[in-house]
Amino acid sequence: MAENNELQRGLSARQMRMIALGGTIGVGLFMGATSTIKWTGPSVIFAYLIAGLFLFLVMRAMGEMIYLNPTTGSFAHFASEYIHPVAGYITAWSNIFQWIVVGMSEVIAVGQYMNYWFPDLPQWIPGVIVVFLLAAANLTSVKAFGEFEFWFAMIKVVTIILMIIAGFGLIFFGFGAGGHASGLSNLWAHGGFMPNGWVGFFFALSIVIGSYQGVELIGITAGETKDPQKNIKSAVNGVIWRILIFYLGAIFVIVTVYPWDQLGEIGSPFVATFAKVGITFAAGLINFVVLTAAMSGCNSGIFSASRMIYTLAQKGQMPKSFLKVMKNGVPLFAVMAISVGILIGALLNVVLPKIIPGAGNIFVYVYSASILPGMIPWFMILISHLRFRKLHPEQVEGHPFKMPGGMVGSYITIVFFLMVLIGMLFNKETVVSVVIGIVFLALMTAFYFIKGYHKLSKKEQEF
């Protein structure tokens, strides 16, 4: 064990960029594209654009604060310092809950994907193997985690780039269609660009938001990156534009190549797009990619949630055993605890269908529960940013990495997220996830006061 129980700075700029990129471009895009298009048709392009731009403001608000104080679990630290210690506590637990749930859903997804090649293989077996593999990578070193995530993200990014190139070739030059370009008519020829009106567009926004979860992972890695100021600035500025390009590019190709109202009949639009330009092994290729995307989500979950447990333990709000750090700078028991929690997902995959008749789409049930807790860090980042600006005007004046729009940008983004949450309460596909999130937040707030953490001094409670 490390003598000082401190984490190490082992992540490079290359790894940080891919961690933030890979944490966001994942199963939410590969598996969620069809459902978002169903709500609003081709105008889903604008839903991804709008959500991406607001997430860019969240990233810049966080970057403005992290630049001056790069600590592990940074947004929980900022919530505690600039709002109230209970806000930091809730933020940390929201992040832990989010990533455990996401990790569990990814484990379930891994079993489903492996059935493509091994239809008789029990789905829980691949999930268990993957969790053990990723736990071992996380325990080896933070650099090993970063390298795993780098290559997972690289696979996803290359696949999307190839699909965009293939799609543009088909749309504008007729590649794979005998030279007959498909053109842009599918964007408006089937009921218009926004066939379900503003209500459908608004409902799609709430689902799109969920696919951007994980972009704030840079805030967790801040305390473990080399040269944090330089790397955080580079990662925040670079990753959001890559996300917008990859999301918008992929979605544009899908709704342009295929009539939006027929997507539900063709299976995966990613598979269909590759197949249409003559790539006959498209189904196997995409299945491999979404398998790595699921492993990437689980990998990020183990890393992120374990670091939040570590920060809670530092404040005496988790057992001191979670402060144990190995010689390689990895929090041993925190990583192990999260890995065990995610393993429950493998058991859910076996048990839930037997308990709940008709529980066919377990992935959606589990994944949707993470949406509201996943948004809590965004709210806390924005509110903390407003307080930071008011309390430290002297630091903002000469700041080399200011948020565009300043406080106005934070206010507008908070209003946008509140509107999305209200919309989720009126959408039958998302209302359950919001209710689960509200119940979780209420329980954790009550637990904070029952345990008497509010009686500690502010310094003792701060992250």
pTM: 0.82
Provide the pLDDT for residue 14. Answer: 66
**Do 215 and 239 meet the contact criterion of CB atoms below 8 Å apart?**
yes
Cβ(306)–Cβ(103) below 8 Å: no
Taking the domains of the chain in order of start, what are their residue ranges? Answer: 13-461
Block means of pLDDT (10 residues each) for the chain, length 463 residues? 52 64 63 75 89 88 80 75 89 87 80 84 87 87 76 82 84 74 81 85 81 70 62 72 79 85 69 71 79 81 85 83 83 90 76 66 63 88 91 80 86 93 81 84 91 66 54
289 touches 156 (CB < 8 A): yes
Beta bridge partners of 225: 11
Helix, strand, or coil here: 325? strand
User: In this predicted structure, what is the pLDDT of residue 416?
Assistant: 94
Residues with Cβ within 8 Å of residue 452, at least 6 apart in sequence: none
411: left (phi over 0), alpha (psi -120 to 50) or beta: alpha
Residue from 220, 280, 208 nearest 248 by CA: 208
For residue 346, give every residue at least 6 positions away whose Cβ sits within 8 Å of its Cβ, in sequence order, or none. Answer: 107, 108, 111, 124, 127, 128, 131
Residue 432 has what pLDDT? Answer: 79
Rounded Cα distance between 254 and 246, Å, is 12
CA 309 distance to own-chain centroid: 18
Q: State the alpha helices, DSSP H only, in 279-370.
A: 282-314, 332-355, 362-368
Q: Are 9 and 228 in contact (CB under 8 A)?
A: yes
141: Cβ–Cβ under 8 A, 6 or more apart, which residues? 8, 10, 328, 329, 330
Protein fold of 13-461: Amino acid/polyamine transporter I (1.20.1740)
What is the DSSP-derived secondary structure letter of residue 403?
Answer: P
Straight-line distance from the first to the last Cα atom of the chain, in angstroms, rounded to the nearest whole number: 23
pLDDT of residue 74: 72
CA dist 136 and 232 (Å) reads 27
% pLDDT > 90, the chain: 8
